[in-house]
Amino acid sequence: METIIEARGLAKRYRHKDAVHDLSLALPAGRACAFLGRNGAGKTTTIKMLAGLIRPSGGSCSLFGRDSQQLRPGDWRKTGYVSENQELYDWMTGEELIAFTSALYPEWDKAFEKELLGKLGIPLQRRISRCSRGEKVKLALLLAMAFRPRLLILDEPFAGLDPLVRSEFLDTVLEITRQNDWSIFFSTHDIDDVEKLADDVVIIDEGRLQVSESLDTLQERFRRIDLYGSHMPIEETSAILNLQREGDHSRFIHTAFDGETTAAIQAAHPQVRIEVSTLSLKEIFIALAKKCQTESPRS
Amino acid sequence: MTSVFHHVRKDLRHSRWLVAITWLAAAGILWPAVTPIGERVGLVEWLPFLRYGSWLLLFLSVGRIVQLDAPLRDTAFHRSRPVSQGTWLVSKLMSCAIVILPMALFQVLMFPLAGLRPDVGDLMLIFAEEMLVHSVVAMIALTLAARMETYTRFLTIAMGLSFAFLIVFVIYVNAAEYLSRETKPEWSYDIEYLKLSRQLVTQIIAVAGLLIGLFITFRARRPERLTAAIAGTTLAASLAWFFWPVNFVKTFTRPEAEAPRSEWPDLSKVEFSFREDRFNGNKNARFNWGFGGYNDIHYQHISAYSRMEGLPPEWWVYPNGYRSSLVSPAGVVIESRQTAWAGLAEEIVLPVVGIPLPWKWENPAPQVEIGEFQKTKVDAAGPNAVLEGEVEIPIKRPVVLARIPLKAGASARIGNRRITVTSVEITRNDWVSYQTIEERPISKLRGGWHGEPHRTLKKIAINSRRGEFLNQVGESNSNHTAAHYALGSAVTNASVSMESSRGDTQVSSDWLDGAELIITGDESGGTFRREFRFENVNLIDTSWRP
């Protein structure tokens, strides 16, 4: 399968701080990858390096097999990019900016543009500087999608949007990308969005990779386990997170759960009753974030 | 190319108001051109402010155009669009060119609008110079703006650099003044042309260096390296400013006005000799000398008494040039400064317009300049030195270039120039007071202010019916330049010649009836050269003159 995005040992150092450290990831064609992390984890820096907008301090990354620092217009004709603080020519009206941008893309799909306009409800005659943030984001999304890119990079595009707009936005992206088999690499703080949209999840913290796998696999291996009727201490391993005890009740999250995990616990604690429950991505993310926070608390 | 124009349209539309104001400021040069001639003098004083203002606005416009798509700003719209670095650079350069093109055209348009008629060659040179100087401003702004992430930062850095430049400039001026106190340059037109050559080549290097720097850094996709391009270009331009050796301006300057070769006098028939003359009526002397100072350096200049015979009557001797040196008894050679400076008296044109000269001049070269030496070096040379060299005596004749009525509104075009009489009156003390304005285009490649050094225009008021001319009693001049436009205003107070048949200096109330203003120039008829060698020269004892 073709690899659309690839990063190897990617690093970015600002003065005395490592924003990103030795990050490697890959996005195969046709997959949607959610890029998660706490505030300041290095998501935006990583995305900008992937898109060639800033130069890495170390390692390399590529889009469509070409070094991100050497991207050509042809590569950008296949890539739609929307970021939280991306500039639009806000002295133009929406209609003018669409006309200007469409001329840059021979592949611009007029019919698709109209379809997106219908779905997103963008005010065309108003100067962009007078549009709301949601309207600007929707316009940016249209400008990133109407030429039918093979890759869509979205850097927290949902931030600051009201729930209704975000829902519209997400539904549109979801519908269109599923129909067109696009690859998506997006960062967000809203885990619910990820569950709707993502096939794969990459989680970073303090610029270091924590998780990189498919959403299904991740949800498969993370389980909440409740043990009742045991006063024996639970042996803490790297696979156990968030261990809590209350009387004879122990609760923890197992990060490497498989078919044999329950039997192994039962063998070690024959008297206990074991309850295993699945976790939402949000719960997994919070558990991992807490772990990271414990291991390297921020000042 | 279509995509380039696509970006250019967007850039210009974005900055249209600022560009319009820039053009408006640049169009200010047309202001005097559409103003009545008598009112131009006051206006021209303001034009430099408009020019510098238009440069500042050009700087801001280019910065704004570039910063719209700042290559170092990762949030810029174009960064995530199919816009190549080449398209970016060419479109920004083209936008700059479109902004500066009308600014250069205004300068060219100014001349026909003002009623001047420079030839096409001059207009093209002026256009090229204007494009060049505006390109320098635009390229500095473009490079600086391409290096900055935001417009605010661009403005802040530009202000900081301007301040730093000002400080360096003040230090340089003071240091240059201090360091040059001991050395006086040999002044000649060549020095002025070399200065202009250096100015022009510095501008060319600035534009070319920044352009090459931009291409290299954008080709390497490292706009942050522009700092090196700016630094390298600044260094190269500074070196050119101080050390560029080739005087290419001289190539473009106009040749000296010459009479047809067939009319040149036969200089082989001219007899020239050095002689002695009585000095202060008491002693014969070979030389006449005087002292002058410049930058606290005292100079002693020496003329030799001479006699010239056999020059045809319509030809005159122009103040001469020379090359000479003083050789001390010990063999120390002191080179003289070289000067050739002055012009013919305007009265010599009178026979040409039918008025006899009021004086006779049988010896056209009673003295010739032969040297000018630093006083301290003369003293060091001691007595009994040898003064040797060669005098070069330009032979010229006057020509009447224009003859116009002496009344307000009369004007004449002489080549690139126009001379207009703006007012004439008879004053209370029965003198004539008249004001003339001389306008002309200036081109650096033509030598700037010194563009036509060999044809000095002079004016003389006459009344040929009366056979009288006016002696100049006093003149007040003012000169203004605005880039390529020069306006000189002269208010002349003149009385009737003392030597006139009337025998007094007041004009009669009807003197202006039939009065004319004669504009004269000169044309060359060759150069008379003569070597000289004086022995036992004593320039030290200044208590008497040799």
* CB B354 within 8 Å of CB B464: yes
CA distance to partner chain A, nearest, from residue B221 (Å): 8
Please indicate, yes or no, whether residues B326 and B407 belong to a single structural domain of this protein: no
* CB B482 within 8 Å of CB B441: no
Of B128, B162, B177, which one is at a domain's C-terminal end? B177
Structure token digits, residue A148: 């039918």
**Subunit contact B74:A53, Cβ cutoff 8 A:** yes
User: What is the layout of strands, in order, in the sheet containing A200-205?
Assistant: A79-83, A151-155, A183-187, A32-37, A200-205, A208-214
Please indicate, yes or no, whether residues B379 and B412 belong to a single structural domain of this protein: no
Q: How far apart are CA B235 and CA B216, in angstroms?
A: 17
Please indicate, yes or no, whether residues B276 and B345 belong to a single structural domain of this protein: yes
B32 Cβ contact partners less than 8 Å away, ≥ 6 residues apart: B40, B43, B44, B47, B114, B482, B485, B487
**E strands, chain A, in order:** 3-14, 17-28, 32-37, 58-63, 66-67, 79-83, 151-155, 183-187, 200-205, 208-214, 223-228, 240-246, 249-254, 273-278
Please indicate, yes or no, whether residues B38 and B169 belong to a single structural domain of this protein: yes
**Subunit contact A86:B14, Cβ cutoff 8 A:** no
Structure token digits, residue B327: 């050789």
- pLDDT < 50: residue spans in chain B: 453, 500, 543-546
pLDDT at B161: 92
Please indicate, yes or no, whether residues B359 and B410 belong to a single structural domain of this protein: no
Residue A117, amino acid: L
Query: Does residue A51 belong to the interface with chain B, where contact is any CB pair within 8 Å?
Result: yes
**Ordered domains of chain A (ranges, CATH):** 3-217 (3.40.50.300), 223-278 (3.30.70)
Of B220, B235, B252, which one is at a domain's C-terminal end? B252
Which position has the token pair 């700042």? B70
Q: How many C-beta neighbours within 10 Å does residue A70 have?
A: 11
A269 Cβ contact partners less than 8 Å away, ≥ 6 residues apart: A227, A230, A232
Please indicate, yes or no, whether residues B427 and B506 belong to a single structural domain of this protein: yes
Q: Check residue A280 and give left, alpha or beta (phi > 0: left; psi -120 to 50: alpha).
A: beta
pLDDT at B539: 75
Residue B26 lies in a domain: yes
CA distance to partner chain B, nearest, from residue A87 (Å): 5
Q: How far is CA A202 from CA A33, A34, A211, A235, in A?
A: 7, 6, 5, 28
Of B177, B205, B232, which one is at a domain's C-terminal end? B177
Residue B112 lies in a domain: yes
Q: Is A47 helix (H, G, I), strand (E, B) or coil?
A: helix
Structure token digits, residue B408: 């307000």
pLDDT at B546: 43
**Subunit contact A73:B82, Cβ cutoff 8 A:** yes
**Subunit contact B77:A86, Cβ cutoff 8 A:** yes
Let me know the angle formed at the C-alpha of A201 by A112 and A53, rounded to the nearest 5 degrees.
65
Q: How far apart are CA B153 and CA B274, in angstroms?
A: 72
Q: How far apart are CA B366 and CA B530, in angstroms?
A: 15
The minimal CB distance from B75 to the residues A86, A101, A104 is found for A86
Residue of A nearest to B68 (CA): A89
Residue B437 lies in a domain: yes
Which position has the token pair 């003098």? B41
Residue-wise pLDDT tens digits, B175-204: 877 776 655 555 667 788 899 999 999 999
Q: What value of ipTM does the predicted structure carry?
A: 0.86
Query: Does residue A276 belong to the interface with chain B, where contact is any CB pair within 8 Å?
Result: no
Kind of pairing between the strands at A79-83 and A151-155: parallel
Residue-wise pLDDT tens digits, A223-257: 888 888 776 667 667 778 878 888 788 888 888 88
Please indicate, yes or no, whether residues B206 and B294 belong to a single structural domain of this protein: no
Whole-number CA gyration radius for chain A:
22
Q: How far apart are CA B223 and CA B11, in angstroms?
A: 20
Chain B residue numbers touching A88 (CB-CB < 8 A): 77
Tell me which residue range forms the domain holding B240.
Answer: 184-252
Show which of residues 9-48 on chain A sit within 8 Å of chain B, judged by CB atoms.
Answer: 48
Residue of A nearest to B83 (CA): A73
Chain B residue numbers touching A73 (CB-CB < 8 A): 82-84, 87
**C-alpha of B383 from chain center:** 41
CA distance to partner chain A, nearest, from residue B163 (Å): 29
Please indicate, yes or no, whether residues B161 and B225 belong to a single structural domain of this protein: no
Please indicate, yes or no, whether residues B243 and B303 belong to a single structural domain of this protein: no
Please indicate, yes or no, whether residues B390 and B440 belong to a single structural domain of this protein: no
Chain B residue numbers touching A70 (CB-CB < 8 A): 221
Q: Is A64 helix (H, G, I), strand (E, B) or coil?
A: coil
The number of distinct structural domains making up chain B is 4
Residue B337 lies in a domain: yes
Show which of residues 89-108 on chain A sit within 8 Å of chain B, judged by CB atoms.
Answer: 89, 91, 100-101, 103-105
pLDDT at B187: 62
Residue B50 lies in a domain: yes
Let me know the angle formed at the C-alpha of B160 by B156 and B162, rounded to the nearest 5 degrees.
115
Of A51, A53, A81, A55, residue with least CA distance to A66:
A51
Q: B122: buried, middle or exposed (CB in 10 Å: 19+, 13-18, 0-12)? A: buried
Show which of residues 183-242 on chain B sit within 8 Å of chain A, judged by CB atoms.
Answer: 221
Taking one residue from A and the other from B, the number of pairs with CB-CB distance under 8 angstroms is 48
Residue-wise pLDDT tens digits, A44-78: 999 999 999 999 999 999 999 999 999 999 999 99
**Subunit contact B84:A103, Cβ cutoff 8 A:** no
pLDDT at B171: 92
Q: What DSSP character marks residue A189? A: S
